[in-house]
A and B are shown apart, each in its own frame.
Chain A
């Protein structure tokens, strides 16, 4: 197995944006998600988003976790995560090493006089109108997390009835040598 460089415990914590994306390949067993979530919870780290689904091989699932934690502490969480029996591989993705996507669904109030504006906004972002009633629209948008952020912000000018983001899913960019822990 690969042994990765170790953290410097007294390293200067990067204050700006500590959000880190961790992609965890696991055996598809019940209770595993709870085990993974537990590891963060017992150390008081907040999971920003978490997305999980089976891979092409349904014996395995892939979990994408975005977590807000200092980089030197992240190393310890990753190592503890890797100790879970059914965790097969972990990739820690720096921002420029990942292809990341997210989906947003939102129902907004759309009375006749402003409906056109909303449709226009959705068009600009290449989103879709997925449901319509006389007073409301449900819109969907898939894209990079940044694009979704921008869209959500602009959508905030209207009255949002309900909004849900999927949480990030991510894969390493092709050809990038990302840091991976893998059972061999």
Chain B
């Protein structure tokens, strides 16, 4: 029940009240000296707190929660080293436009700048990795700061916002930390320009180009998911009979099972998605940002394509590739405006025929499907096989979180994403160790859904301790650990581009003993060494709902991710699987 305005509160109580006013259900956090006064009123709050084992985990869990639920993730840690430990998740959330509010404790105002114990310049350090940050200097300003933080994090192009709270303003023993509670209804930010509506003239121009194009491709990025635009996208693709590629950040924004879906483009995208963009005469970039992993060599990217760029962030327009038509605005609103325009122009009949284009695409799909060779008898399992079986044996709305590297690419390639918000990964920053804490955050937000973390052995060793969090907090995630004994992606580059000189990439299959490690953290744990054991073990894992499960799949070390566009190369020089060359 909302607190009566005018109630006398201290800053710590006001902070918890403010978070409740923002509808926060769960905080991922870790207490410490400067934030201690806030952890006291937390005991009396309705908000769930998940005690992570490392502050980085708190940040990634908040991200996972935000990815899965669409609501802002919240993490709370203390000052100094705790604040520096959340820098990585903040940078991760910034690059992937994840709405997140991070609350950090700070030393008392009087101690700021004195090199006090556990002091660091948190707002200075995090300035370039947050959408916004603020240091609150007065207890009475806390409600306004929290209101603004959530508003900024969730509107426009979403992103992380950090609120730094000095200890004295939340200290129950400080008479100056008390004030008469009230929660603001609005924010006063005259310089903030979050969500311009799409310009009707630009929409009309874009639609005219879409109708005239013969080889159009909808190049869909994470902005469509952020705008809750999956349904509008499906209608737009269908009405125009336009093929769709979904980038790494947009997997699930358009169903992989749809006949218009070409899958993922980019460095490890499939041949058809990559080549369709290269040969397109119109790319409709929808909430995507021409990332270098998608474009390859920019000068050689989609040379004949005109560009319609729809993005809510004006700074993305023309940053990499100059658009012919620029629509600044929310992707869903833009697509709905396009649909309205198209319907009045005659719907599907308004478009040029794409049948020759579609035929060409299906030809490529037939000739260059994703492929791999099965393990020879006695060999360890193929990671692609594990992912195919995991996909087929788990519910279609399973949420999958991955770490970074080969396993991430294989998951994106081989999973069938038919629902939005089922794929959670670190796309922009490429943060190893992301999957386990992100999966915990997702499961905390969506407890009724099955959540699988797909991890590599390198990633697992970075954040595995969060499985203790999962056990203790009863957040039963599942982990598919693809153990190939190597930092696989780095190994792949060394094999292909460094004359097989393997420098510091070997980790070993059996050091550590992953099963024992997982068991020691309260998880059920299995090891799979042969393809024949895969199905039964996944089935067993999927039956367990009362604690986390880790399945270690011993994988072949030499397996490589294909197709591949070598870094800096043109997308025309895509390397398909050796069997297809």
Interface residues of A (CB under 8 A from B): 1, 3, 6-9, 26-27, 30-31, 34-35, 38, 42, 75-76, 79-80, 82-88, 183-184
Residues of A contacting B132 in the complex (Cβ-Cβ under 8 angstroms):
85
Q: Is the CB of B127 within 8 A of A82?
A: no
Q: Is the CB of A83 within 8 A of B313?
A: yes
Residues of A contacting B190 in the complex (Cβ-Cβ under 8 angstroms):
27, 88, 183
Q: Is the CB of B326 within 8 A of A6?
A: yes
Residues of A contacting B193 in the complex (Cβ-Cβ under 8 angstroms):
1, 82, 183-184
Q: How far is A86 from B193 in the complex, measured between Cα atoms in Å? A: 10
Residues of A contacting B328 in the complex (Cβ-Cβ under 8 angstroms):
1, 3
Q: Is the CB of A6 within 8 A of B315?
A: no
**Binary per-residue interface labels of chain B (119-137) against chain A in the complex, 1 for a CB within 8 Å, 0 otherwise:** 0000110011001100100
**A-B CB contacts (within 8 Å), total count:** 68
Q: How far is A87 from B132 in the complex, measured between Cα atoms in Å? A: 12
Q: Is the CB of A38 within 8 A of B315?
A: no
Interface residues of B (CB under 8 A from A): 123-124, 127-128, 131-132, 135, 152, 189-193, 196, 199, 313-315, 317-323, 326, 328
Q: How far is A172 from B189 in the complex, measured between Cα atoms in Å? A: 25
Q: Is the CB of B196 within 8 A of A1?
A: yes
**CB < 8 Å: which of A6, A31, A87 contacts B317?**
A6
Q: Is the CB of A76 within 8 A of B127?
A: no
Interface centre among A7, A42, A83, A184 (most CB of B within 10 A): A83
B251 to A: closest C-beta gap in Å:
27
Show 24 residue pairs from A and B whose CB-CB distance is below 8 angstroms, ordered by the A residue.
A1-B193, A3-B326, A6-B322, A6-B323, A7-B318, A7-B322, A9-B321, A9-B322, A27-B189, A27-B190, A31-B127, A31-B135, A38-B128, A76-B315, A76-B319, A82-B315, A85-B131, A85-B189, A86-B189, A87-B191, A88-B190, A183-B191, A183-B192, A183-B193
Residues of A contacting B191 in the complex (Cβ-Cβ under 8 angstroms):
26-27, 84-88, 183
Residues of B contacting A42 in the complex (Cβ-Cβ under 8 angstroms):
128
Residues of B contacting A3 in the complex (Cβ-Cβ under 8 angstroms):
199, 314, 317, 326, 328
B113 to A: closest C-beta gap in Å:
13
Q: How far is A75 from B132 in the complex, measured between Cα atoms in Å? A: 21
Nearest CB to that of A39 among chain B residues?
B128
Residues of A contacting B127 in the complex (Cβ-Cβ under 8 angstroms):
31, 34-35, 38
Nearest CB to that of B157 among chain A residues?
A83
Whether A79 touches B315, Cβ cut-off 8 Å, given contacts A6-B322, A31-B135, A34-B127, is yes
> Closest 4 CB pairs between A and B?
A6-B318, A79-B315, A88-B191, A183-B193
Q: Is the CB of B192 within 8 A of A85?
A: yes
